[in-house]
A = this chain, B = another copy of it.
Amino acid sequence: MSRKTNHHMTADEFRRYGKEMVDWIADYYEWVETQRVLPDIEPGDIRKSLPEKPPIHGESFDVIMQDVDQFIMPGITHWQSPGFFAYFPSNTSFPSILGEMMSAGLGQQGMSWKTSPATTELETLVMDWLVDMMGLPRSFHSSTNGGGVIQDTASSATLCALLAARERVTGGVGNRSGAPNTLVAYTSDQAHSSVQKSARIAGIGDDRLRLIPSNESFAMDANALQAAIQKDRDDGLTPFFVSATVGTTSSMAMDPILSIIDAAEGCWIHVDAAMAGTAAMCEEFRWIHEGLERADSYCFNPHKWMFTNFDCDCFWVKDKTALVGALSILPEYLRTAEHLSGAAIDYRDWQIPLGRRLRALKLWFVLRHYGQEGLAFHIREHVRLTEHLAQRIGDDLDFHLVVPRTLNLVCFTHQRGDEFTEQLMERLNASGSIYLSHTRLAGTYTIRMCVGGRDMQQRHVDAAWDQVVNTARELSEELANASRSASEIRA
C-alpha cells in the first residue's frame, strides 16, 4: 500500500515539515520579544476564529501551519518572552526541546522496566546526578532505601508524599475502610494550594489540614505547629504529615525545616521547593535546604527555573517502601519477571498514573548541555538581576518592598495603597509590554516580579522597572486630574 493512499504523513513529508517546524521554533525565540506578552483578547475569541465542524477529510499540513500562525498565535501568552515576570519563569531551552522531540519520536511507554528499560534507568541515573549536583541528602540516592522519580508537577509529588505518609503511619491499614478517621496534616498558611488539593483528594478532609500561621517573614511558625500537633494529639487525633515550603509562591519565604522537624516528631516531612530548589545548583545558595537530610521527601521543578520544558518535577523519598506500598497494585497483565525478582524499578508504582513517557531524556540533555557550571551561571545571573531590581525598588520612595528580596523574586506595593497598586498592575499588564502577577501578603495587595526568563537581561529588567515607575506616575496624575475636575465641578 503506498503512503499516499494510507493517509499517513510520509517520512519525506515529515522531514520537510519537521525542519520547517525547527525553523519556526528558532524564529519564535527571535521574535517573541517584539510581541505583546499577554494577548489582547476576550474569552471565546480564539474558539470563534476556528471552524466548529471537525474535518471529515484530511488537510494539508501547510494549511494547518498557516492556521497556527493566524488563529492560535493570537491566543498565546508568551511565557518565553523576556517581558514575562508573572508567576514563575517556566523557562525552557533548545536542548530541552530537542529532548521532548526525541521522546515523542521514540514513543516509549515506560510503565514497567521491561516495557522500556532505558526510560527507567536513565531516569534513575539523572535523579542520582541531581543529588550530586545540588548537594541533596545522600538518603535520596537510589543506592540507599530512597530514590527519585520524575513526576509531572509538584502537585502530584505532594499527593504522592501524603499517600506514602498515610501508608507509613497506618502500616497499610489506612487503605481499609475500618481505619479510624483521625489523620491530621499540616502546612503553613503560605503553602501552595496543591497541599490543600492533595489532602482533599486523599480524603483526609479539608478540615484536617491545619494551615499553621506564618511569622512576619511569612515562614511557618514552628512553635504554632508544635502547639497544633500537641492539641491534636490531646484530642485523640493522629498527626502524620507536614508539608514545608522552600520558597513560597507568594513571597519566596523559607520555612524553617529543622525547627519544623523538631516540632513534628513522628510525622512525614515533605519539603516543596518547586521553584527555589534549582538554586542549589550554586553552592552559595544551598542554605535553603538546611535540614533536608532529616526530611522524608522533597521535590523541585526543573520546569520552573532550570531550562526544562513543562512538565518535569523531580521528587525524592527517603523510604521508597512506603511510597510503593501506597501506590502499587499488581494485576496479572502487568507482571514481569524483573518486577517479581525485585531486580528492576517499575516507576508506575511511584506515581498516580500508570503510563509514562521517556521523561528523563530532556533533563539529561539539559544537564549535559549546560553542565552544573552553565546552570549555576544563569541562576547567579538571575539572582543578580533580581538584586538589581530590588535595589531600584528600594531607592524609589513611591514603592515599598514588602519582604526583603530572596533569590529571584521581589514583592512590592505602591505607597498609595491596595486599590492603586491593583490598578497599576492591571494597566501594566494591559500594555502588553510586560506581564506581572499578584498576591496578598498580610492582607495587602502585592505585585510579584519573578526573574528567570531564558533570555532575560538587565535591559529587560530596567525597561520593566522604568515602565512600572512611569505608569505609576501617569496613574497618579490622572487621579489628581480627576480629583481636580471633581473639585472644580463641586466648586
Contacts and interface: CB of A to CB of B under 8 A. Distances in A.
A122 B13 contact: no
A205 to B, nearest CB: 3
Interface in A364-384: 365, 367-375, 377-378
Given A39-B117, A124-B47, A201-B202, A94 B309 contact: no
A2 interface: no
A236 interface: no
Interface in A291-348: 303, 309-311, 326-327, 329-334, 338, 343-344
Interface string A372-408: 1111011000000000000000000000000000000
Contacts of A41: 117
Stoichiometry, as copies per complex, reads 2
A206 B206 CA distance: 22
B122 A46 contact: yes
A196 B369 CA distance: 41
Interface string A137-175: 000000000000000110110010001001000000011
A102 interface: yes
Contact of A333 (B125, B208, B439): B439
Given A97-B105, A106-B28, A208 B55 contact: no
A469 interface: no
A258 to B, nearest CB: 27
Nearest to A250: B333
Contacts of A194: 353-354
A271 to B, nearest CB: 18
A412 interface: no
B25 A102 contact: yes
Interface stretch (A3-11, A262-270, A477-485): A3-11
A491 interface: no
A460 interface: no
B21 A98 contact: yes
Interface stretch (A58-66, A221-229, A239-247, A413-421): A58-66
B352 A352 contact: yes
5 contacts: A11-B30, A14-B26, A21-B102, A159-B201, A176-B207
A438 to B, nearest CB: 7
Interface in A181-206: 181, 192-194, 196-197, 200-206
Interface in A343-361: 343-344, 352-357, 361
A102 B58 contact: no
Contacts of A121: 43-47, 75
Q: Which of A96, A113, A203 has the most CB of B within 10 A?
A: A203
B96 A104 contact: yes
A403 to B, nearest CB: 14
Contact of A9 (B46, B369, B373): B369
A38 interface: yes
A108 B176 CA distance: 40
A437 B336 CA distance: 10
Contact of A13 (B59, B94, B153, B329): B94
A463 interface: no
